[in-house]
């Protein structure tokens, strides 16, 4: 049974990049909505004061969404700051004092994964873990062994339902829309199986590089950075069975069933790539073999999906910034009219930069000849405003709602699938900046009709 609503918000890494870009805007939004009426305690080792933290928060808001005077004034009054080392017991003693009468604090570890264990142990030793919840940022381990070790440590001090493994992708409105569209409508279910679907593919393309985060990225790579979490979560929403109800455990039980059905990947199921120039990025090892691109082929041993291949492609320095799903349907059993090779029908779900749900079909061209052309029936919703992912997720964690967070067994099953190919177990191929990755990735999906390369209207860049 869940504990009461959190009554204090503590975030480690208060002076870091994540706090600047995401946490401060989310906190102001929560204050504005009346969902954050509690102490907000930032902790870092920067030699700062609480006034420095308030200035940092104000600068963050000016750059990311704007300052709401009333909400920011209230947030500033709630702010406290503790400066100290995460390995120093005195840091946690000061935190315990700052928490005062709070019985159910929420501790957010917006820090590198290497610091998770010392902070969790410090919270426990000082009594700050009593009745508390903890939010852990991805990646949840580097492989199956480290994920299991992290979970064992967390479970020493926190109950599983008090552990919130945050993946901001699950807080995005378009991803929520995908889940809603699947299970709020009856039109998909009759055909959402191996009898009618030929293949599914997910592309997460980014038109930029590592953006000055070379040292971090060189320790992670595309598979750990986005595939094991973001892409696998989207895949689960596409392929999982209908949950028994809307509860967090019912949703996550269905995801677990799906992850358990996935075959462990083999070297022939993956292509890794690295864009030209990556080795010159600051912080990147001179002979790094870390991938900035990954393409995977996944099979699931279930009644619904037996024989249907699923493909995931994610990479940096690709032609556009876009995340898109393409579901190719099997062709009619008999071609009455001439049709080109490949799938006649498809569903397309675009998750960003805009939201598109469309059905691809063929219609007759005007004239006497029975010739057709492809069309898309489009339901389009461009999200200009909406709840920020971190606002949604932090608000849910404060309330104890874990539906959009990842459970320990799901994390470990996802790593089980990827573990055989993690690291340098398959070669890395070079690819040109602005291309769709190494050509070797095309062979992976050749028998399923090839990759769908998303096309996005890109504004002209200054100076061109």
Please give the full DSSP string across 393-424, using - where no structure is assigned. Answer: HHHHHHHT--TTSB-HHHHHHHHHHHGGGSSS
- Which residues are 80's β-sheet partners? 41
Count of C-beta atoms within a 10 Å radius of residue 70:
9
The structure's pTM equals: 0.91
Whole-angstrom distance, CA of residue 145 vs CA of residue 133: 24
- Residue 361 CA, distance from chain mean position: 31
How would you write the pLDDT of the chain (464 residues) with one tens digit per residue?
445 899 999 999 999 989 999 999 999 999 999 999 999 999 999 999 999 999 999 999 999 989 999 999 999 999 999 999 999 999 999 999 999 999 999 999 998 888 898 999 999 999 999 999 999 988 788 999 999 999 999 999 999 999 999 888 888 888 888 888 999 999 899 999 999 999 999 999 999 999 888 888 998 899 999 999 999 999 999 999 999 998 889 999 999 999 999 999 999 999 999 999 999 999 999 999 999 999 999 999 999 999 999 999 999 999 999 999 999 999 888 777 776 777 789 999 999 888 889 999 888 888 888 888 888 998 776 665 567 899 999 999 999 999 889 999 999 999 999 999 998 999 999 999 999 999 999 999 999 999 999 987 654 444 43
Task: Show which residues are catalytic.
Answer: 230
* Preceding omega of 353 cis (within 30 degrees of 0): yes
Residue 262 per-residue DSSP state: B
CA distances from 195 to 164, 302, 365 (A): 37, 13, 29
| CB-based contact 384:164 (threshold 8 Å) | no
| CB-based contact 154:123 (threshold 8 Å) | no
């Amino acid at each position: 049974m869940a504990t009461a609503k959190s009554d204090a918000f503590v975030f480690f890494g208060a002076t870091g990049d994540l706090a600047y870009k995401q946490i401060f805007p989310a906190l102001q939004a929560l204050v504005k909505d009346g969902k954050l009426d509690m102490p907000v305690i930032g902790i870092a080792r920067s030699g700062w004061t609480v006034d420095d933290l308030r200035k940092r928060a104000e600068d963050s808001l000016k750059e990311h969404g704007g300052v709401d005077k009333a909400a920011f004034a209230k947030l500033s009054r709630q702010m406290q700051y503790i400066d100290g080392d995460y390995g120093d017991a005195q840091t946690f003693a000061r935190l315990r004092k700052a928490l005062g009468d709070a019985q159910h604090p929420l501790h957010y570890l917006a820090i590198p994964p290497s610091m998770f264990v010392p902070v969790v142990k410090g919270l426990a030793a000082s009594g700050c873990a009593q009745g508390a919840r903890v939010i852990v940022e991805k990646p949840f381990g580097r492989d199956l062994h480290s994920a299991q070790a992290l979970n064992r440590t967390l479970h020493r001090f926190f109950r599983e339902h008090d552990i919130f493994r945050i993946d901001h992708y699950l807080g995005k409105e378009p991803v929520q829309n995908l889940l809603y569209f699947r299970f709020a409508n009856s039109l998909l279910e009759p055909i959402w199986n191996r009898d009618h679907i030929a293949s599914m593919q997910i592309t997460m393309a980014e038109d930029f590089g590592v953006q000055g985060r070379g040292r971090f990225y060189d320790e992670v790579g595309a598979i750990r950075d986005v595939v094991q979490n973001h892409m696998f979560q989207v895949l689960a929403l596409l392929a999982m069975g209908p949950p028994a109800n809307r509860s967090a455990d019912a949703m996550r039980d269905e995801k677990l069933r799906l992850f358990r059905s996935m075959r462990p990947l083999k070297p022939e199921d993956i292509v890794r790539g690295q864009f030209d120039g990556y080795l010159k990025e600051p912080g990147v090892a001179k002979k790094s073999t870390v991938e900035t691109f990954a393409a995977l082929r996944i099979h699931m041993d279930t009644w619904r999906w037996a024989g249907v291949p699923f493909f995931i492609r994610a990479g940096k320095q690709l032609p556009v910034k876009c995340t898109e799903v393409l579901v190719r349907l099997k062709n009619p059993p008999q071609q009455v009219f001439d049709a080109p090779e490949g799938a006649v029908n498809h569903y397309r779900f675009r998750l960003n930069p805009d939201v598109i749900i469309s059905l691809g079909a063929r219609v007759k061209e005007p004239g006497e000849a029975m010739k057709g052309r492809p069309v898309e029936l489009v339901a389009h919703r461009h999200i200009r405003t909406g709840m920020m992912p971190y606002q949604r997720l932090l608000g849910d964690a404060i309330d104890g709602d874990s539906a959009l967070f990842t459970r320990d067994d799901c994390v470990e099953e996802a790593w089980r699938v990827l573990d055989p190919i993690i690291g340098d177990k398959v070669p890395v191929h070079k690819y040109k900046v602005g291309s769709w990755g190494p050509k070797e990735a095309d062979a992976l999906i050749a028998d399923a009709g090839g990759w769908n390369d998303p096309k996005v209207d890109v504004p002209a860049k200054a100076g061109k």
